[in-house]
Amino acid sequence: MTVKAWLEMAVHDAERRGLPELKPLLEALAKSTSALRTAEWNADATGELQFPRRNER
Amino acid sequence: MSAEPHTIAQLARALESRQTTSETVVDRCLRRIADRNGTLNAFITVFEDTAREQAREADREIAAGRYRGPLHGVPISLKDLFDVRGSATTAASRVRQEHVAEADAPSVTALREAGAVIIGKTNLHEFAFGTTNEDSAYGPARHPLDANRSPGGSSGGSAASVADGMCFASMGTDTGGSIRIPSAVCGLVGLKPAVGELSTDGVVPLSATLDHIGPLCRSVEDAAIVYDALRGNPRAAGKAIDPRALKLGVPRDYFLALLDPQVSSTFESACERLRAAGAALQDVAIPHARDVAAIYLHIVLAEAAAYHANTLERRPDDYTPNVRMRLEMGRYVLAEDYVRAMRGREMIRCEVDAALEGLDALLLPSVPIPAPKIGTPTVKIAGSEEPVRNVMLRCTQAFNVSGHPAISVPCGATIDGLPVGGQLVGRAADTAGLLRVAAAVEVYLGPGTSR
């Protein structure tokens, strides 16, 4: 699920549950999740990225 | 004694030599609580009768030659997350008002075995989920130097109780900085030991893999005394080392990039004093420090939400509104993002290890701002408006993520007299080594307002 789709779903669900005040918190969380997902150290199924590199310790 | 003991170490000498009694000291602390708790709201529960009883028992044992060590007869408070048999562990929440603990937490048992007098349970940010202590079912705890300010959090009542002379130390918890933050802004020493070193059993969790327990005290020596008691290993922390032999790393990027100007100048002055004392300071890097906040957030939210989900469904209105919303936010974190964060955590751990290579400790500010005014959601810093919570966690949460031991030590004050803390981070799993470094630099970092 993309962050955009997740945010739409989460905001919709929060409103359905009567928690509209969650929206700004979810928007802030979405920004943080985007940062997490685009970080260079994320796992890569091709095996091309090896991070953290052990020889850097 | 010409002056009343200020630290546990001083009090221990007076108690062991019978220049004073535990009953006298506990009575003085109880009177201080009676005088000041209405203003500071530091305590949720005061164990007046049992504390007096424990004090008299300590005096009897010491008089009979059965001195247990430096905590014997010393009054200590507990953040109201620690189980004490027969009393409520409220977590500062209406959710737990009917709770009664069936047994002492192992850490409380260790303190009792060392002879400590448990004087009461302190106020906190509800379920430890905040840095200001404003969201509590019992109302906010307040700063001893300015009741319009926060004592920090989440162990805010603990810090206020020690800083205001209501007890000699307090046990707190630290998930992102909740021991070090209130210690720093109240002018105390706050120790977060290495991850997994001290049992968190019998302590209400916030985030199972990030939670730590530790003491808030008036000196590094006192922190070592409480740490030793919790480890069941008296005097293991050892003596300070020569400051001229110290090598300290300062992680300037990120950690020193967003500081209140007075915190910055106070910290830099402390660094100069250390250099003048002969310590070697060098800049070091934690290359992905900027990713720490996102890593921390996805771990703490998911783990806290897992603990609270059932109760949020049944008793949502028994939480304070802000804490309820943060917990609800955690219920939307996806599993893949939690796993990403845990991978990032391992990377940060490796990077902190690398930064410490060849050094005794890292040195950085504990909190980028002095104690904030109560009710202030944001703070203007370096030209931008930032959430107080994010700013207060900025320098501490990395070491919950990495698990390295860390300690906040007073390093001066603003022109208004508000304390500023310097943070030392030790090598992995070496809390005793960190305490030796902290003891060596304490006199050069300080003085804080507490001494």
CB pairs under 8 A between A and B: 68
- Cβ atoms within 10 Å, residue B85: 13
Instruction: Identify the bridge partners of residue B78 per DSSP, sorted by sequence position.
Output: B121, B171
Cα–Cα distances in Å, from B266 out to B36, B180, B443?
Answer: 30, 17, 15
pLDDT band at B6, cuts 50/70/90?
very high
Q: What is the pLDDT of residue A52?
A: 55
Q: Is the backbone of residue B396 left (phi > 0), alpha (psi -120 to 50) or beta? A: alpha
**Low-confidence spans in chain A with pLDDT less than 70:** 48-57
Report which secondary-structure segment, H or E, holds B63. helix B48-63
Residues of B in contact with A32 (CB under 8 A): 293-294, 297-298
Q: What is the pLDDT of residue B449?
A: 37
- The Cα angle at residue B379 between residues B373 and B384, in degrees rounded to 5: 165
CA atoms of B362 and B407, how far apart (whole Å): 10
The answer to whether the Cβ–Cβ distance between A42 and B297 falls below 8 Å is no
Instruction: Tell the CATH superfamily of the B243-285+346-445 domain.
Output: Amidase signature (AS) domain (3.90.1300.10)
Contact B225, B16 (CB under 8 A): no
In single-letter form, the type of residue at position B143 comes to H
Q: Which of B438, B449, B448 is nearest to B223 (CA)?
A: B438
Q: What is the pLDDT of residue B245?
A: 93
The answer to whether the Cβ–Cβ distance between A56 and B354 falls below 8 Å is yes
Q: Which of A42-51, B71-80, B171-180, B244-253 has the lowest mean pLDDT?
A: A42-51
Q: What is the pLDDT of residue B338?
A: 98
Q: What is the pLDDT of residue B450?
A: 36
Residue B403 backbone phi and psi in degrees, to 5: 85, 5
Distance from CA of A26 to the nearest CA of B (A): 6
CA atoms of B347 and B144, how far apart (whole Å): 39
Distance from CA of B449 to the nearest CA of A (A): 37
Judged against a pLDDT cut of 50, whether residue B448 lies above it is answered with no
Q: Which CATH number fits domain B8-231: 3.40.1410.10, 3.90.1300.10, 3.20.20.140, 1.20.1300.10?
A: 3.90.1300.10
CA atoms of A41 and A57, how far apart (whole Å): 15
* pLDDT per position as a tens digit, B67-122: 999 999 999 999 999 999 999 999 999 999 899 999 999 999 999 999 999 999 99
Which of A21, A33, A57 is facing B350, going by the closest CB pair? Answer: A57
Q: Which of B428, B449, B418 is nearest to B359 (CA)?
A: B428
Taking the Cβ of residue B344 and every Cβ of chain A, the question of whether any pair is shorter than 8 Å is answered with yes
The answer to whether the Cβ–Cβ distance between A52 and B346 falls below 8 Å is yes
- Cβ atoms within 10 Å, residue B269: 14
Report which secondary-structure segment, H or E, holds A54. none
Which of B297, B326, B334 is facing A1, going by the closest CB pair? Answer: B334
Which of B291, B326, B343 is facing A43, going by the closest CB pair? Answer: B343
Percent of chain B residues past pLDDT 70, beyond the cut: 97
- Do the domains B243-285+346-445 and B8-231 match in fold? yes
CA atoms of B37 and B327, how far apart (whole Å): 30
Which of A19, A36, A56 is facing B328, going by the closest CB pair? Answer: A19
pLDDT band at B1, cuts 50/70/90?
very low
Report ipTM for this prediction: 0.93
Q: Which of B188, B180, B227 is nearest to B364 (CA)?
A: B180
- Is the backbone peptide bond immediately before B70 cis, with ω within 30 degrees of 0? no
> What integer best gives the mean pLDDT of chain B?
96
* pLDDT per position as a tens digit, B381-394: 988 999 999 999 99
- Which residues of B are known to be catalytic? 79, 154, 178
Percent of chain B residues past pLDDT 90, beyond the cut: 95
CA atoms of B142 and B156, how far apart (whole Å): 8
* pLDDT per position as a tens digit, B290-332: 999 999 999 999 999 999 999 999 999 999 999 999 999 999 9
The 3-state DSSP class for residue B439 equals: helix
The 3-state DSSP class for residue B209 equals: coil
The answer to whether the Cβ–Cβ distance between A39 and B334 falls below 8 Å is no
Give B66's contacts (C-beta < 8 A, 6+ positions apart): none
The predicted model gives B367-382 an average pLDDT of 96
Contact A34, B292 (CB under 8 A): no
